Structure formats: C-alpha cells, structure tokens
Structure 1
Amino acid sequence: MNRVHKKSAQVNENSIKNCCETTFRTRFKEKSVLKSIFGVVARARLLVVTVLIVCFCYTTTAVAASLNVINSFGPAPKLKATTDPRKFIPKGYELVSITNGDLNNDKTIDCVLLVQATNPANWVVDYYGKKVNRNRRGLIVLFAKNGTYVLRAKNLTCFSSAEEDGGNYMPPDLGLEIKKSKLYISYGHGRYGYWEYCFRWQASNFVLIGYEGSSNRGPIVEEATSINFLTNKTKIRKNTMLESLDGEGIFEVQYLDRKPRPLLKLTDIKDFDELEIEDK
C-alpha cells in the first residue's frame, strides 16, 4: 500500500507540475501576444505621427508657395528701377520723344517715352519717293522714385505712324503734355481742328477722365465737344453763326447725360485712330 500511495502521490505531483508549467506557458504566450499587440500599436502610432509631420511640412510649403504666387500678382510688386529711362525701351523700338512732368502729384518729375517700332518690313517708300517708317508707336510711362525710374504703364502699339498716308490731308500731329498731374494726349489737325484726351493716374493705371474736341473750318469753330467721364456729362457747343466776319460766331450750348460705363484704361486702348467715345 505504501508503494501505491507513493506512486499516486508522485502522479499527483507530476500533474500539478505539468499544470503549473502549462499555465506558465499559457501566460507567457499571452504576455508575448500582448507585447506584440502593444508593439504593433506603438509602431502604428509612430507611423501616424510621422505622416502628420510630413503633411504639416508639405502644407506649410504649399502655403508659402501660394503666398509667393499671390504676392507676384499683388498691387505692389517689386519694380525694376534705373536712372536711365532709355533702358525701358524694348528691343525693336526706338525713342521718338521724352515728356517730363509730375504725374502722380508727389512733387517729383516723372517721364513719358514716345517710342516707335523699327521692323524693316514696315519701312516703305511714300508718294514722294521718301523711305518712311510706317511702324506703330506707343507709350512707356515711368515714375521717378528715389532718384530712379520705375515702370508704371506701357502701351507700345496704340498710335499709328507719323508717316501714314493722309490722302488729301496731312495726318494729324500727335502731342504729349503733362499738366496738373495729368497726361494729355492730343491730335492737332491744323485748320480742321483738334481733339485731346486727358488721363489721370488712379487705381494703379491711367484712366481716361476727359475729352475735348473742336471741329473747325479755318479760323471758325463749327462745333466743340467736352466730355467729363467722371460725371458722365457731355457739353456740345454749336456755332449758329458760321458766316461771322470776326470768326467768333454765336454758339448754342447743349448738355447731355452719358450712359455710365467703366473708365477706359490707357493700357487697354488698341488704336487711338479707332477710338469712339462720343455717344451717337
């Protein structure tokens, strides 16, 4: 009996030992699984943080790039400056004249360049056998700033050539003048009269604010027109005494209201010869 009890006791001891070992292995495996799970979670969290950092850096770079693009089209870009206004004349153009005056009322002398293209294809021989330049002309407007000039407006093709064929009449003479911080562009047609456009610097461009025109017959004014584009008012003076001996005449005055419309920019005018501004 003692042997049986001893054997039974040994079996029980082995069973307990096996049970303990099994429990230990099971718990060890559970801990390993949990450790693996925590490792995966940690790596996932690290990956998420890395992705967020990369996204933040990319977004910051994109925003900075966007701001640079916005600034490049903003109202106050960095303007190239030089002390020599002739350096603003592009290749293929030559200087015709320079007009000086204060255009933006800052007590400094600004500059308007009248330029003309030099394309050889547009040099022709006129009716009198003279070789003339029929290339179009344009304007370059420069503002004086700290002893240098900066470009403010440019329209290189808005005027026809001074050598155009006028048919039975000579082509009108183009004139530029700066008065009271305004740019005046005028055409003189001798005994037939004149017309003049007044531009003012505002809203980062030169806009047409006034027009004066006179239709003459020699020294006698037949009709004179004055337009204010700011008030949309037109004043027309018609001579009812064309045969006046002293040339003064008697004028009938008429005031008209114009249809409101946006102010015309100098840079948007394609051809002054085709510009129609009077209401029909």
Structure 2
Amino acid sequence: MCKRNGFTLIELLVVVAIIALLLSILMPALQRVRKHAQAVGCMSILKQWGLIWYMYTEDNDGKFNTGGSVASDAANDWPVVLWDYYMKRGSLTLCPSATKEHFEGVRFAFGAWSWDKSGWTNIKQKQAADYGSYGQNEWICYREPSAGTESRYWRTRHQKNSDKIPLFFDCAWLDLYPNDTDSPAQIEEIPSTASEMNLVCINRHSGYVNCLFIDCSTVRKVGLKELWTLKWHRTFDTANDWTRAGGVQPHDWPEWMRSFKDY
C-alpha cells in the first residue's frame, strides 16, 4: 500500500482557514502595539525638542524666536533658527506616525507638511528641514510690546503655569495661531481654513496629540477636546464655548470627536 504524503485539499483548506482566523484575531492587537510604539517614539522626539528649545532660549537670554510673521520673514521660523541645534540629531521633524507628505494620499492627521524654503531669498540655512509633522505655537514668539495682538505673546520661557502653555506638538503645519473662538472641523478630513486649531486638532494618537510645553521639560499627551482648555496666548479664554466650564455639551462636538474624553 502506498504511503500518503502531504495534505489533502480539505486539510489544506482547514489549515489556511485556521491561519486566517489567527491573523484576524492578532492583527488588531498588533496594530495597537504599533500605534503605541509610534506614540512613545513621538514622545521621545518631543523630549529632544525640549532640550533643543531650552538650549536655544538659553543662548538668547531666555527669549524665543520672533517667528515667521515678522515682516513675513521665514528666516525667523523654527526650522531655520533651530537648524544648528537639530541638524545632527536625525529625522526629528517627523512624528513616527506621520512620515509621508500630504500629497502622497495619506489621511490628514497622518500627513507631513511640506514647506518651500527655497522660495525665501533671506534664509541662510538652506539645509533647514522643509517637511515635518510638528508645529510651533506662534503665540510663543519674542515680539516687542506694542498695541494690538502683541499683548497676547509669550515672549520668554519663564512663565507661571508653564505646563499649561503649549509650545511644540503634533501638527499639520509648521506653525499656527489658535484662538478661543476657533471651532473644530465638522468633517475630520476637511479642516476649516478659518480655524487654526484644526491644524493641531488631529486624531494622530487615538484621540490625543503629543505636546511639549513652554517650560521645555513637560511632555505629555493632550486630549483633542482638551486643546481648548490650554493657555495658547495670554488672553486666551480657557472657559470658552468649547469647554465644560463654558457649557459645551457632548452633542455640540462633531460626530468624529464625540467619543473622545471631555474636558
């Protein structure tokens, strides 16, 4: 009698079905592990940015950069002024969850911004990073006191309640000016250009973004709804209409945000 070698078709189909079942069980767990690892990596990168911002302000009498809005001068934007501090530290401008540029078809929250530094003639550090997935709170800039919005700026690192003032974070653009009247995007993938908060209110880390604060040492995850409770500028109302203190109700939030933690 001939000895049978190998599997029969039915046995093979059973093995394939078992493998498929195991994969369906394991894949969500593996995806969660991957997302957690990326979030931890992001935190680690922001801690390095904390050291970079600390060294920069120490070298400049505690002052921050003047930002790109001074005479539309991109030479004062963080990718340029911090270049000497981060140039040898690897790909620090990219969150591990957002390494591809927006035009590559990735979701808004996971896309990296692209900055055409070549369009500015006054940038000395032409090697400065021209794409990334972190951004600066532009209300943290050293501006000379004057009338108007200048009174809103945090000019130096030394502030009371510094762990409530966001400096550097997961972001869809390299900088932004959030206001307490900003509204969240009604559709997750179509942020409103009228609301700067939409650039940081992105679901990159399962309902959170990671954030470095103005003291340059505090790094923690921030809930998307919590963004409206932080002190983005000196006159920012932390009890605005999008906070519990301001009377927001769960149904007021866009559908894509309703399951996130309230603040």
- Normalising by structure 1, report the TM-score: 0.29
- Normalising by structure 2, report the TM-score: 0.30
Larger-gyration structure (1/2): 1
Structure number with higher helix proportion: 2
